[in-house]
A and B are shown apart, each in its own frame.
Chain A
Amino acid sequence: EAQVTQNPRYLITVTGKKLTVTCSQNMNHEYMSWYRQDPGLGLRQIYYSMNVEVTDKGDVPEGYKVSRKEKRNFPLILESPSPNQTSLYFCASSARAITSYGYTFGSGTRLTVV
């Protein structure tokens, strides 16, 4: 089954404790992206990757890191999480970044930083 897999689904952590949210897709998609979704603010892009070893900042990159060493994986790293990073996170992928393709989303990770 074609899918984007995120883990974990739920995570509660403490301020400052480094964490990684994994994202993997099995569709050979070139483009991958991370979003956070907050009430009243909608989906905001954190980072995106056009292909292996090619990443760039989205609209809200502060406090996050990403890497794209393999085409299928695009982990999101929070080096020192803070309470304002409490949010619902989605990984998404697309065959290409260009106009014709919609995104496939992972199931989401609900992160709480206390």
Chain B
Amino acid sequence: QKEVEQNSGPLSVPEGAIASLNCTYSDRGSQSFFWYRQYSGKSPELIMSIYSNGDKEDGRFTAQLNKASQYVSLLIRDSQPSDSATYLCAGYAGNNRKLIWGLGTSLAVNP
């Protein structure tokens, strides 16, 4: 059973701090990973994608991938209350052509 696991949280950080969200996956064949943000009752919104080992930065967001250790992380710098949401990690395994979703980590940024 291919799995993507996330700590459900809630993760609570003060405004302006760095929020660190982590995700581990079981399928070594997974080739690419995605982070989605989902506000309560709303649809998931793609934030970052990452395909290669290392870091990928986009504004306040940095995605990190370590294929040897099978984990993916998302760092949010200068966290804002508007970042409070659930963050979903998803991994893509080419052999079954589908995304495997984690259950999400709830983030609360406190003013």
Residues on A facing B (Cβ under 8 Å): 40-43, 45, 48, 50, 58, 88, 90, 97-100, 102-108, 110
Contact with A along B94-105 (1 / 0, CB 8 A): 100111011110
Q: Report yes or no: A42 in contact with B103, Cβ–Cβ below 8 A.
A: yes
- Please, could you name 22 A-B residue pairs with CB atoms under 8 Å apart, sorted by A? A40-B103, A42-B104, A43-B44, A50-B97, A58-B98, A90-B44, A97-B97, A97-B98, A98-B94, A100-B49, A100-B51, A102-B34, A102-B46, A102-B49, A103-B44, A105-B44, A105-B45, A106-B43, A107-B42, A108-B41, A108-B42, A110-B41
B residues near A106, Cβ cutoff 8 Å: 43
B residues near A48, Cβ cutoff 8 Å: 98
B residues near A98, Cβ cutoff 8 Å: 94, 97
Query: In whole angstroms, how far apart are the Cα atoms of A40 and B104 in the complex?
Result: 10
A residues near B51, Cβ cutoff 8 Å: 99-100
B residues near A110, Cβ cutoff 8 Å: 41
Q: Report yes or no: B102 in contact with A99, Cβ–Cβ below 8 A.
A: no
Residue of A nearest to B47 (CB): A102
- Nearest Cβ in chain B — how far from A84, in angstroms? 20
- Nearest Cβ in chain B — how far from A44, in angstroms? 8
A interface, over-half SS: loop
Query: In whole angstroms, how far apart are the Cα atoms of A97 and B32 in the complex?
Result: 12
Q: Report yes or no: B46 in contact with A43, Cβ–Cβ below 8 A.
A: no
Query: In whole angstroms, how far apart are the Cα atoms of A110 and B40 in the complex?
Result: 13
- The reply on B92 being an interface residue by CB < 8 A is yes
- The reply on B66 being an interface residue by CB < 8 A is no
Q: Report yes or no: B32 in contact with A42, Cβ–Cβ below 8 A.
A: no
Q: Report yes or no: A99 in contact with B31, Cβ–Cβ below 8 A.
A: yes
Q: Report yes or no: A99 in contact with B43, Cβ–Cβ below 8 A.
A: no
Q: Report yes or no: A108 in contact with B43, Cβ–Cβ below 8 A.
A: yes
Query: In whole angstroms, how far apart are the Cα atoms of A98 and B97 in the complex?
Result: 6
Our pick among B31, B88, B98 for the contact of A45 (Cβ within 8 Å) is B98
Query: In whole angstroms, how far apart are the Cα atoms of A83 and B102 in the complex?
Result: 25
